[in-house]
Chain A
Amino acid sequence: MHAIEVRQLTKRFGPLTAVNGVSFTVDRGEVLGFLGPNGAGKSTTMKLITGFLEPSGGYAKVYGHDVVEEPIEAKRKLGYLPEGAPLYGEMTPRGFLEFIAEVRGFKGSEAQRRIAQVVEKVHLEGVMGQRIETLSKGYKRRVGLAQALLHDPEALILDEPTDGLDPNQKHEVRTLIHDMARDKAIIISTHILEEVDTVCTRAMIIGRGRVLFSGTPAELAARSEYHNAVSLVVRSGTAAAAKRRIEALAGVVRVEAGAVADGHVRILAMPRNGVSILADIAEAARAGGWEIDGLAVEAGRLDEVFRTITAHYQDDTFIPEGRERPRADRAAP
């Protein structure tokens, strides 16, 4: 039995098909990352799995419990952080978590024990008596996480858990997810591609409600034209010769040379179909006696793969969000 099983899941809103025949499974110990442009269907898929929305077709099961047929059993197994971490603003984190504990069926000292545990996990100690609406975005997100983790669920669904957090908080949340991954099945959605690399065991790119790619982060990176590309830094004197020599190699499709900086030039050699070209280049460097100050093989650029895969699915308003960029940058067309 899979922890989470989704088969041909479909959701239509009138004429719009938000989720279109999505199938996948997640097992204990896996962290599945949902990637995709805004409006691709990531959040809708999550709302279907958590039973907030009813599917128009297909099904979702959590540890064998169909979320439509046995919603209460499925929801007991699930912890869920909805998009934007909605919370009751007039409550304090303590009051709110006590409410969640009661709904989850924990009473008295057991409830207090679990609250203390989860508060320590997400570092809420200092703000337990403050009204939630007065908390910073980072703290609100943590209250949302605490709520999802309180019953130590076997399956966890987190919709953009690190959105709006500062780099330190992002790192903390990622570490938290990573630590929990061993005995849980986790699905997270994110815009941040490096997050996929650091916390996910599997990545899935969704566009226009369909699964466009599913595989390990390494497989995703391997799709990049930069996969196995070699970058080397040479003294500017030998740069021209080096560039010509590398261009002549059989496995190299293109060579890019950067500008001269500090008397050095960065040269990037792109391999044909991702073949390994490091040995050839090293050989040529030895033979030519180039003065090399740096040599590295690229794993692949996730943002570039992401753009390539979702390119056909973009509408006019979509702004590709690759690596993290400042907000102002993102807003630019």
Chain B
Amino acid sequence: MNNTLVISKRELGAYFATPVAYVFIVIFLLLMGVFAFYLGGFYERNQADLDAFFQWHPWLYLFLIPALSMRLWAEERKTGTIELLMTLPVSLTEAVLGKFLAAWCFTAVALMLTFPIWITVNYLGDPDNGVIVAAYLGSLIMAGAFLAIGSCISALTKNQVIAFVVSVVVCFCFVLSGFPMVLDFFSGWVPPMMLDAISDFSFLTHFAAIRKGVIDVRSLIYFLSLIALWLYATTVAIDARKAS
């Protein structure tokens, strides 16, 4: 556990040692604002809630999180530092977890910096702050799922561009798995039960309830088990590909 934290700390430091962190945070906040105010119609809705803000999170994460996760392992493999890391007295699980937690903490920082919109809505009206807290937490957990997927795909390649593109595509499938463009691809050749399962995988459906303040335990379990599964897949991927 201690090793996980040490690796997390180093990794988090690395974000802020380069412009990556600052560029990411600025773009993240800018896009969050643009989406909430222009596309979400934050003012026009005339409601004291942040639904106009939260509803775009899956779409923003779809592009922003792979940009964050692409370097997690691809960079270590490219520069060879993976050999350094894996020959220290650290287990693979600790390393995978440490790097993932760093990226997750960083996302949390970026998300927390959207607080002005929370202040704004409290200034303008009288929102249900419990709902907003729940939606923030739900959004963060969903971000974790995006990151875990990105972590695994980053472990499969040395090339960060490939890691980014493939992560976006895989995340896109998860975001939209309840929708025709994904379901049509599967319908006809997978059993109906499987099709139902796939349609239940949709990030949008699971997040829809959470952003309204309904913390559905099933959705939480869904996102958390997705994180666990993809992180496990990351360890398998590193084990299999670290030599090449």
* B and A form one assembly: yes
Q: Residues of A with Cβ closer than 8 Å to B?
A: 13, 47, 50-53, 71-72, 75-76, 78, 80, 82-84, 86-91, 95, 99-100, 102-105, 131, 147
Between B89, B91, B242, the greatest number of chain A beta carbons within 10 A of the residue's beta carbon is seen for B89
Name the A residues within 8 Å of B90 (CB-CB).
72, 103
Name the A residues within 8 Å of B79 (CB-CB).
86, 88-89
Query: Of all chain A residues, which has the CB nearest B242?
Result: A52
Q: Residues of B with Cβ closer than 8 Å to A?
A: 3, 6-7, 9-10, 13-14, 17-18, 79-81, 83-84, 86-91, 242-243
8 contacts between A and B (CB under 8 A): A52-B87, A72-B90, A91-B14, A91-B17, A95-B13, A99-B9, A102-B6, A103-B3
The answer for the CA separation of A182 and B88 in the assembled complex, in Å, is 24
Whether A13 contacts B84 in the complex (CB less than 8 A), given A90-B18, A102-B6, comes out as: no
**CB atoms of B243 and A72 under 8 A apart:** no
The answer for the CA separation of A75 and B79 in the assembled complex, in Å, is 21
Report which of B10, B86, B89, B242 forms a contact with A99, defined as CB distance below 8 A: B10
**CB atoms of A100 and B80 under 8 A apart:** no
Name the A residues within 8 Å of B9 (CB-CB).
99
The answer for the CA separation of A88 and B83 in the assembled complex, in Å, is 12
Whether A104 contacts B89 in the complex (CB less than 8 A), given A91-B14, A95-B13, comes out as: yes
**CB atoms of B89 and A76 under 8 A apart:** yes
Query: Of all chain B residues, which has the CB nearest A53?
Result: B243
Whether A86 contacts B80 in the complex (CB less than 8 A), given A99-B10, A103-B3, comes out as: yes
Name the A residues within 8 Å of B89 (CB-CB).
72, 75-76, 103-105
Name the B residues within 8 Å of A80 (CB-CB).
84, 87
Name the A residues within 8 Å of B83 (CB-CB).
47, 52, 82, 86
Name the B residues within 8 Å of A103 (CB-CB).
3, 6-7, 88-90
The answer for the CA separation of A86 and B75 in the assembled complex, in Å, is 12
**CB atoms of B91 and A91 under 8 A apart:** no
Query: Of all chain A residues, which has the CB nearest B16?
Result: A90
**CB atoms of A147 and B10 under 8 A apart:** no
Report which of A71, A105, A131, A147 forms a contact with B84, defined as CB distance below 8 A: A147
Query: Of all chain A residues, which has the CB nearest B17?
Result: A90
**CB atoms of A91 and B13 under 8 A apart:** yes
**Could you tell me the distance in whole angstroms from the C-beta of B81 to the nearest C-beta in chain A?**
5
The answer for the CA separation of A76 and B87 in the assembled complex, in Å, is 9
**CB atoms of B14 and A100 under 8 A apart:** no
Name the A residues within 8 Å of B18 (CB-CB).
90
**Could you tell me the distance in whole angstroms from the C-beta of B187 to the nearest C-beta in chain A?**
38
Name the A residues within 8 Å of B87 (CB-CB).
50-52, 75, 78, 80, 82
Smallest CB-CB A-B distances: 6 pairs: A86-B80, A90-B17, A75-B89, A82-B83, A102-B6, A50-B87
Name the A residues within 8 Å of B6 (CB-CB).
99, 102-103
Query: Of all chain B residues, which has the CB nearest A92?
Result: B17
Query: Of all chain B residues, which has the CB nearest A67?
Result: B87
Between B3, B10, B91, the greatest number of chain A beta carbons within 10 A of the residue's beta carbon is seen for B10
The answer for the CA separation of A87 and B6 in the assembled complex, in Å, is 17
**Could you tell me the distance in whole angstroms from the C-beta of A1 to the nearest C-beta in chain B?**
20
Query: Of all chain B residues, which has the CB nearest A81?
Result: B84
The answer for the CA separation of A237 and B145 in the assembled complex, in Å, is 89
Query: Of all chain A residues, which has the CB nearest B15?
Result: A90
Name the A residues within 8 Å of B7 (CB-CB).
103
**Could you tell me the distance in whole angstroms from the C-beta of A114 to the nearest C-beta in chain B?**
15
Query: Of all chain B residues, which has the CB nearest A102?
Result: B6
The answer for the CA separation of A88 and B9 in the assembled complex, in Å, is 14
Name the B residues within 8 Å of A104 (CB-CB).
88-89
- Excluding A53-B242, A90-B14, 16 further A-B contacts by CB distance (< 8 Å) are A13-B243, A47-B83, A47-B243, A51-B87, A52-B83, A75-B87, A75-B89, A76-B89, A82-B83, A82-B87, A86-B81, A89-B79, A99-B9, A103-B6, A103-B89, A147-B84
The answer for the CA separation of A29 and B76 in the assembled complex, in Å, is 34
The answer for the CA separation of A72 and B95 in the assembled complex, in Å, is 13
Name the B residues within 8 Å of A90 (CB-CB).
14, 17-18
The answer for the CA separation of A82 and B83 in the assembled complex, in Å, is 7
Name the A residues within 8 Å of B80 (CB-CB).
82-84, 86
**Could you tell me the distance in whole angstroms from the C-beta of B64 to the nearest C-beta in chain A?**
21
The answer for the CA separation of A36 and B242 in the assembled complex, in Å, is 24
The answer for the CA separation of A80 and B86 in the assembled complex, in Å, is 11
The answer for the CA separation of A84 and B81 in the assembled complex, in Å, is 10
**Could you tell me the distance in whole angstroms from the C-beta of A91 to the nearest C-beta in chain B?**
7
The answer for the CA separation of A105 and B13 in the assembled complex, in Å, is 19
